[in-house]
Chain A
Amino acid sequence: MTRVLLIEDDPAVRKGVHLALRRRGHEVEAAASGETGLLALDRFRPELVLLDLMLPGMSGLEVCRRIRETQQIPIIILSARGDDIDMVVGLEAGADDYVVKPASGEVLQARMRAVLRRVVGEGGGDGAREAGSGAPSASAASSSRSSPSSSSVTYGALTIDRAGLLVTKDGRDVVLAPSELKLLLFLSDSPGQVFSRQQLLEQVWEHSFYGDVRLVDACVMRLRAKIEDDSRAPTYVQTVRGFGYRFGPL
């Protein structure tokens, strides 16, 4: 059961999604505008936000930015606009996933589960990832659960605490959105190995169909802005032309 805050101005969609999620055992609070949604954020303390972009008054993008300023709660944008540019703008505002309407309850449920899992940073998917990657750090990461002190791995100026899910750069905390954190964890798990965007989409976002590789690009862009010295000349998350991305080598 998940506490979901649904910010959606259309009453029918609000009611429909509310009904669908409640039937799947989630606790849903619905807000008809961005302002009431932000208020409910403090009161309701949701684990996840489902956010419509076209809202009266404060736009969904603005709501997304406001939430990101203070919280690392997962945000899924639920929008009727599916053009590339809308998606990129929404993702750049800090959302972790982007679902185009109309979406069935099943799809919503799957996306929510994927987003939520990466915050917790454990579970079957994560374990499989580490076992599959076969990187040396995998053992360190899996053993880290028992001894948090040894879980920190340092790459250059970047220190990643896999157990505490903390990332620091030059000793300062870097605040990462859930998707950014999971992307960084996944990539740094096997430094130097190249992953295609499709693979990252499947591993990090758990989408098992083509589409939304822009999700990966947008997230990489956001991550770079936070951890790179110069995001145009990245050293941590590097682009491999024609293939995808890799972490390092530094």
Chain B
Amino acid sequence: MQSLGPDLPFPPRREDLQNLVVQLDRAGGSRNWRTYAQYEDGPVVPGPWGGGVGSSAGGAGGTGGAAKGGAAVTDGLRKAVREQHAPIFQRVDRDGQPWLAIGMPVDFTDTDAGGGGNGTGRTGPDATPSATPQRGKPSGLIVYAEFALADEKADISALVTAAQAGALPALALAVVPALFAARRVLRPVRRLRAAAERITSGELDTRLPVTGRDELADLTVTFNEMARALEKDDAELRRMEANARRFAADVSHELRTPLAAMSAVTEVLDEDAARLDPDTADAVRLISDETTKLARMVEDLIEVSRFDAGAADLHLDEIDVAVALRKTLQLRGWQDQVETDLPEGLRARFDPRRIDVVVANLVGNALRHGGTPVRLTAYETSGRLRIDVADQGPGIDPQALPHVFDRFYKADAARARSSGSGLGLAIAMENVRLHGGTLRAANGPDGGAVFTVEVPVDPLGGAGVGAGPEPGGEGPDVTAPVSGAGDTGTGDTGAGDTGAGDTGAGDTGTEDAKNEEGRP
């Protein structure tokens, strides 16, 4: 173009353009271009063969014709070249064949070209894009070239086929040894992972065989050392813990013997205190009281050490909840101080001795530290038995709340000594846990502490319980029992009448108990 451009008369006539196109085609003939030229808004001038190439009419007629017949040079491309005045190329699909179309505006190099007749087109279809920035004055001449990419496409297809044919087997050949190599590395790593999992689950005697002398072998050695150290520490800890437990149990047992002698005679002391002079009487009563307290504390300690040693057994029995809880109150003479709301006929499977201890400790705690009236409520929700013990006292300091089940925890530092052993709530907690249940402490909405026991009902063919009343979906909700305890202020089942019933020896007691048991 650089060479042909100057020869072009200006402004070019159609014949001149055709001539230019022919020459350009000839210059790039080997590359199988088809060239077109256009001046200003004039028709796109194809080469002399132009008519033959177009699928329909010869493209020479006008812009519309060129777009149809003229192949890859579309209206869009022409517009873009004119507007942007820059070389534009576009890939076009024609009849399923890819074509590359290039549009190139030809500029005057001479800035004074307006006067001179010899405009110089600098650029050609294959000119470098760097021509564009040195923008000259547009000559109005635009040259297009289109170029079938079918050969290139065929080449690429051939390449792809060759790659597929050649590379895939090669890849397959490479993958097999790679997998073997990976397995060799992965197997020990997997073994390490499995061993780590075993250690996590408590099998501290896990060791791995060391093979080879690579990094994995080093890692295995380190792992084994870690396991050994862990096992040693664990054994040491266990030994110390066992010692501590045995010590507590031994101390408790050893304390029992002297206490047995003292407990046996405390009544003797109490009886005689009335006849002694006041000071001696006080001393005697003090000794008597403290002995009783000490005996209870030792009992609690032994119970705790039994839990710690995992020696606490669960003797499950199917029990009528209301009967059991009333009996607990009655045995301790609490009927008059405790309001009850206990559903008749509710049966649950639990260890009566342990639930007795739980309720006795909770109620005793409420009576000592809370305010009367203490309210004892039992009900069933979602297959779980809930027992609430609520009092009307000042409630529990929120800061103390998480610690109330700690051993020997005293909520009030000033009250360093109380009549309790400081183990009651801890023991209650352990007993509830043994049943697979939960024990929670909270403050009620209108003051007072609320302790909530929740244990599975686990009915065993008990007609009274039935699997029926299970609404389901009601999750454990801390607030529910609290508000429930406040709401159920209706039924005071009157400890008086039941109190007489179960005294054990009397006829009525026997009858009641039998009916209770014989009903299902």
Contact = CB atoms under 8 A, between A and B. Distances in A.
Contact of A102 (B263, B268, B461): B263
B286 to A, nearest CB: 17
Nearest to A207: B504
A105 B261 contact: no
B510 A102 contact: no
Interface string A196-207: 111100110010
- The CB with the most chain A CB atoms within 10 A, among B257, B461, B518, is that of B257
A13 B517 contact: no
Interface in B211-263: 253, 256-263
B264 A208 contact: no
A10 B257 CA distance: 8
Given A84-B313, A132-B514, A210-B356, A104 B505 contact: no
A65 interface: no
Which bracket fits the contact residues of A?
35 or more
Interface string A176-211: 000000000000000001111111001100101111
A203 B462 CA distance: 23
B349 interface: yes
A209 B329 CA distance: 11
Contact of B517 (A108, A125, A196, A210): A196
B492 interface: no
A102 B505 contact: no
A193 B518 contact: yes
Contacts of B317: 196-198, 213, 242
Interface stretch (A15-23, A56-64, A146-154): A15-23
B401 interface: no
Contact of B256 (A102, A104, A108, A208): A102
B460 interface: yes
Contact of A104 (B267, B328, B511): B267
Interface residues of B, number: 50
B257 A242 contact: no
A145 interface: no
A131 interface: yes
B285 to A, nearest CB: 15
Contact of A16 (B260, B306, B513): B260
Interface string B309-330: 0010101011100001001100
A243 B265 contact: no
B516 to A, nearest CB: 9
Nearest to A201: B504
A129 B264 contact: no
12 contacts: A16-B260, A17-B261, A101-B260, A102-B263, A105-B268, A125-B505, A128-B506, A193-B518, A196-B317, A208-B504, A241-B460, A242-B461
Interface of A: 10, 12-13, 15-17, 19-20, 23, 78, 80-84, 100-106, 108, 124-125, 128-129, 131-133, 193-199, 202-203, 206, 208-211, 213-214, 241-244
